[in-house]
Structure 1
Amino acid sequence: MKNQLVLLLLAAFMLACKQGSSTSEPAGEIVVEGDSAQTTPVKVKLQTLHENFSNPWGMAWLPDGRLLVTERSGEILIFKDDKYTGQKLSGVPNVYAMGQGGLLDIQTHPKYNENGWIYLAYAKPVGGGGATAVMRAKLRGNELVDKQEIFVASPANSAGIHFGSRLAFDNEGYLYIVAGERGINEKVQELSNDLGKIHRVFDDGRVPQDNPFVGTANARSTIWSYGHRNPQGMVYDKENNRLWAVEHGPKGGDELNLVEKGKNYGWSVVTYGIGYDGRPISDKTEMEGVQEPVKYWVPSPAPCGMALVTSDKYPGWKGNLLIANLAFKYVGRIELNGTSFVSEEKLMENVARVRHVAQSPDGFIYVITEGPGKLIKLVPSS
């Protein structure tokens, strides 16, 4: 009888544990606390606002409070007041939905209230496969109209990998565009193509004449920096006029970089990573003329979208970078001293593969994940 009672109590305990870990658990049940020697503790509750995404990639807010979230398959979902409206935008461009390709980042123009431009980065189907492309458009109701293609990376190929595709605007209204190396290492150090580069253009795609390689023979005039593998996170620090990017290395060698005009970031002649087959890619981890990463990771957490915390809602995190990580399933909170790395704290560990982190206009942090696909809001908690 005593043994039966023990077994019943054990079964009840296991059932309670299982129910407590269910994805249908009420929002706000999970609490994480950030702390370090540099900051005061910050507690946040994770509120799951939406589930059942497949492969969400980017998010952007409109002035009327609506949130637009892209799905890699080619959809843009509309949220309002932290709830899915059941509506989607129409007029989305056709995408090269192959492997990692599809509809990727979305951003609004800094002067959206004046001009109404929305920017989409996506893998475009072209002859020979797919290419990283950027289109801008306006909204008429829930339809994208007045569509203008302003950038297409060349050369295209049939690989379904490494499109890059993050977008960021600086204080002067210039647009920065990431084009991944598409698995073609030998193209990255060459200036005659767009692959493995971060590009800078006017908001309509025109080339600024102070770009670093304007007038250089055979160089692509949109290039701002080169020697990148596959950056999938980029954010502009408006207060300090700094452009930050994180990029995927191979097996090890993921990087956080301060992206500067005309600089070479080394791929694939310099890397802290090795090939997926375990073979060396380069015998160099540093070289004259190549920018060192501000931070590198071995093994690879697979950093993706990122945000800079400027909100007063998270006082202990203000000025920190929040970096989504796919493989190791966490949000990395990066503390900086100017442009130097100080420390990293892992938040939201094992919730899901974290694709992107963004700060809303009213100062809250939102996270999108895949496997399972969720929209999560980080709400400060006393």
Structure 2
Amino acid sequence: MKGRWSGTPLLALAVVATASGADEATLETEHQTLRLTAVAEGLERPWGVAILPGGLYLVSERTGGIQTFYNDERQTIDDLPGIQSDDQGGLLDIVASPDYSDTGWIYFTYASGDADSTATALARGRLAGNQLTEVEELFEQNRRSEPGPHGGSRLAWMDDDTLLMSVGDRDSPERAQDTNDHAGSILRLNPQGLAPEDNPRFEEVGYLPEIYSWGHRHVLGLAVDRDRGDVWAVEARGNGHDELMLIRSGENHGWPEDDDSEEAAGADLLDDITSGELFTDEEVIEPVYRFSSDVSPAGLAVVDSERYPQWQGNLLVGSLESGQIYRFEVNGDEVAEMEELLEEPLGPVRDIRQSPEGYLYALIGDDNGTLYRLEPEQ
């Protein structure tokens, strides 16, 4: 494992009530004091949050609806077509287009299909009151599977307005090493859902043109460092091997190579690896950081806001299993410091985002989820 970490937890987590009745917690972190303020509550199985200019929040719920919040007003957008909701499937991530102010496009991923088979898909639409109009499916992974775990998915825009989209291995580890299968990969698409011609393996035989990287189990945190051009991801590898990864385009990130969990060992995968039947590339990209216990990382943000001067270039990572928020200080592909921000977890952390106004947000909970804003104390 690269780098070192300092597991310094919060010194205090004091919960008080705001004048509006929303919960507020004071966070004494290593470098600055924050207030954790609830800005949206009562969310059902939330997954992702998009924060639009002007303070409009969109929260996706796996049951198939989008909750919108603006100036203390809440609306529900439902009746989205073709979404198959099950234990881990349903409506997944949601982001606004980089040119949202001009086009109004909202992009989202979801489990497309029926009770017999599903695929992770990408669509977009435009907000019109409490409806999403002009909805069009842009992309669907090339192989449907029985509904179940590890569909994904996370979205992140790159500086050239191409869109990264993660797709899980659909609970079949060997698919992550099949580059003719979208499962177990991060894809790069243009705003119309097509593969850009400068994708790293666009014209290479044996690779789907949309593939940006492969060898992934279940990427549930994806973010782009716009200052450095780095792509970061976190993924649950199981058996205490969850990872923070610096993504290398056109490269194999290893799942299920050298993993001794029962899941990876099934179907004689380790024998296949030993005999060289799975891996044809000489290099497998190692993680920057490997967690020492199962945390099921979910949600990832790169901090570049001036509101957090002591955290410039840091990464914030959430956890489904521990309910923790982790702060990583990184130097290139080395971890210089790691801090646990919550002394008392508030529930499974689903997503972490930075808003256009520069505030950090954490989406926490399951059947009764809450969206929190991390506000620096003046």
Query: Do they fold alike, i.e. is TM over 0.5?
Result: yes
- Does the 8 A contact of 2:15 with 2:25 survive in 1? no
The 1:237–1:22 alpha-carbon spacing in structure 2 relative to 1, beyond 3 Å, is closer
Q: Choose which of 41, 46, 56 in structure 1 pairs with 2:46.
A: 56
Higher deviation after alignment, 133-142 or 86-95? 86-95
What is the CA–CA distance in structure 2 between the aligned matches of 1:177 and 1:316, rounded to whole Å? 30
Contact 2:352–2:363 (CA under 8 A) maintained in structure 1: yes
Equivalences for residues 141-160 of structure 1 within 5 A: 141-160=129-148
**Does residue 323 in structure 1 map to residue 317 in structure 2?**
yes
Q: In the alignment, which residue of structure 2 is the partner of 1:105?
A: 93
How far apart are 1:189 and its partner, in Å? 0.8
Secondary structure of the 2:232 match is strand
The one-letter code sitting in structure 2 at the alignment partner of 1:76 is I
User: In structure 2, what is the equivalent of residue 381 of structure 1?
Assistant: 377
Q: Distance in 1 between matches of 2:331 and 2:23?
A: 32
Say yes or no: does 1:304 pair with 2:298. yes
Gaps of 5+ in 1: 1-19, 36-40
Say if 2:346 is the partner of 1:351: yes
CA displacement at 1:339 relative to structure 2: 3.0
SS at match of 1:188: helix
Give 1:91 shift.
4.8
1:115 has 2:99 as partner: no
Alpha-carbon separation, structure 2, partners of 1:342 and 1:258 = 15
What letter corresponds to residue 342 of structure 1 in structure 2? A
Out of 236, 252, 259, which is 1:264 matched to?
252
1:65 aligns with 2:55: yes
* Mapped partners of 1:207, 1:111: distance in 2: 20
Q: CA deviation at 1:159?
A: 3.5
Helix, strand or coil: the match of 1:224?
A: strand
Deviation per residue, 1:236-286 (Å, 9 max, x gap): 111111111111111211111111211100111233x623699997599x9
> Is residue 95 from structure 1 mapped to residue 101 from structure 2 by the alignment?
no
Greater RCO (Cα-Cα under 8 Å, separation 6 or more)? 2
Matched residue SS, 1:164: coil
Once the two structures are superposed, residues 341-382 of structure 1 have per-residue CA deviations (whole angstroms, 9 ceiling, x without a partner) of 112111124221111111111111111111451111111125
Partner residue, 1:246: 234
- The 2-side partners of 1:91 and 1:187 are apart by 32
Match of 1:34 in 2: 29
1:274: which partner in 2? 261
Of residues 192, 202, 208 in structure 2, which corresponds to 1:214?
A: 202
Tell me which amino acid in the other structure corresponds to 1:358. Answer: R
Aligned to 1:356, the other structure's residue is in SS state strand
State the distance in 2 between where 1:374 and 1:21 align: 15
* Equivalent of residue 161 in structure 1, options 149, 158, 164: 149
**Aligned to 1:74, which of 56, 64, 68?**
64
Moved more, 327-336 or 368-377: 368-377
Deviation of 1:94 (Å): 3.1
Distance 1:181 1:219 in 2: 16
Is the 1:128–1:156 contact (alpha carbons within 8 Å) kept by the matching residues of 2?
no
Task: Give the unaligned 5+ runs of structure 2.
Answer: 1-13, 274-278
Aligned to 1:11: none
SS at match of 2:328: strand
> Does structure 1 conserve the Cα–Cα contact (< 8 Å) formed by 2:25 and 2:36?
yes
Amino acid in structure 2 at the alignment position of 1:380: P
Residues 23 and 188 of structure 1: is their aligned pair in 2 closer, same or farther, counting only changes over 3 Å? farther
SS at match of 1:149: strand
Maintained 8 Å contact 1:57/1:72: yes
Partner of 1:293: 287
> Against the structure 1 CA distance between its residues 24 and 31, is the aligned structure 2 distance closer, same or farther, given a 3 Å change threshold?
closer
The answer on whether the counterparts of 1:224 and 1:261 sit within 8 Å (CA) in structure 2 is yes
Q: Provide the secondary structure at the position in 1 that maps to 2:194.
A: coil
Question: 1:12 matched to which residue of 2?
Answer: none
Q: Distance in 2 between matches of 1:342 and 1:282?
A: 33
Q: Which residue type is aligned with residue 99 of structure 2?
A: K
Judging changes above 3 Å, is the alpha-carbon distance between structure 1 residues 370 and 23 closer, same or farther for their aligned structure 2 residues? farther
Going from structure 1 to structure 2, the CA distance change for 1:143 and 1:51 (only over 3 Å counts) comes to closer
CA change 1:316–1:23 in 2 (3 A) is same
CA-to-aligned-CA distance 1:48-76 (integer Å, 9 cap, x gap):
22332221111112334311111110111
Greater shift in the superposed pair: 86-95 or 153-162: 86-95
**AA partner of residue 367 (structure 1):** A
Quick check: which has more Rg, 1 or 2? 1
What's the RMSD between the two structures over aligned residues?
Answer: 2.7
In the alignment, the residues of structure 2 paired with residue 215 and residue 252 of structure 1 have an alpha-carbon distance, to the nearest angstrom, of: 37
Q: Look up the match of 1:363.
A: 358
Identical-residue share of aligned pairs (%): 35
